[in-house]
Amino acid sequence: MIGKKGGVAARQGVATKKGGRKGAAPKTFADAATVREIFSRLRAANPEPKGELEYINPYTLLVAVVLSAQATDAGVNKATRALFAAADTPQKMLGLGEERVRDYIKTIGLFRNKAKNVIALSEKLVAEHGGQVPRDAASLEALPGVGRKTANVVRNIAFGEPTIAVDTHLFRVSNRIPLARGKTPLEVEQGLMKIVPPEFLIHAHHWLILHGRYVCKARRPECEKCVIADLCASPEKTV
């Protein structure tokens, strides 16, 4: 175990809030041993992490992720239980039509635009993919309302691809610890893809998202219950 005083901040030359090495440029990546130890501990605490969005099949997962933009997973689940009971394929969703889809999801932010996208992506799935969800990134990202993050979530959860979907929690946590630093989600994703050992890749984004959601929170990180506190070099650390 790496002790607090000789921890990652000192080894990396990262400036600390307690007057560490002023002027030392923060490193972009944590070193390999630290990365391995961080993921080993996150895995030990939660060996089989799961996303919190409810879904029935790859299609409903795709729709749930599209609906989850700027909304909580719990709020999306509340609306999709009834929606997916009525329509769990693109064909059935088209049968419902935009107006009824809108009714089912009206408790979710941006629901008008999201209902449009759900119908439009369903049309494209039927027209171009035989009603199936494609597994390659380019085809997924060509669907209305689907960006890189959504495509990565679907590829990871539905198809077991080792992708890292960078959401607001993961972006913050990766920059904070730091694991991989970046100014954009893409930079963080590419940085993590370089440093996360293959054995951790499939679950890496779940561990980091859950860590950010429940422990390393945006305003007040709960460092006292953090299993990687001694490895964290964040100036925001409170222990």
Does 31 qualify as catalytic in the annotation? no
Is 167 catalytic? The answer is: yes
Task: Indicate which residue of 22, 73, 149, 230 is catalytic.
Answer: 149
Nearer to ligand SF4 among residue 122 and residue 234 (C-beta): 234
Q: Which two tokens stand for residue 11?
A: 């080894």
Minimum distance from CB of 172 to ligand SF4 (Å)? 9
Does residue 237 interact with ligand SF4 by CB under 6 A?
A: yes
Give the binding range for ligand SF4 (CB under 6 A) out of 76-84, 107-115, 202-210, 215-223. 215-223
From 30, 64, 208, 228, residue interacting with ligand SF4 (rule: CB under 6 A) = 228
Alpha-carbon span 140 to 177, nearest angstrom: 31
Here's the x/- map for ligand SF4, 168-187, by CB under 6 A: it reads as: --------xx----------
**Choice among 31, 114, 167, 225 that is catalytic:** 167
By CB under 6 A, is residue 229 in contact with ligand SF4? yes
215 binds ligand SF4 (CB under 6 A): yes
The smaller minimum CB distance to ligand SF4, of residues 199 and 222, is found at 222
Enumerate binding residues for ligand SF4 (CB under 6 A).
176-177, 215-216, 221-223, 226, 228-229, 232, 234, 236-237
Task: Show which residues are catalytic.
Answer: 149, 167
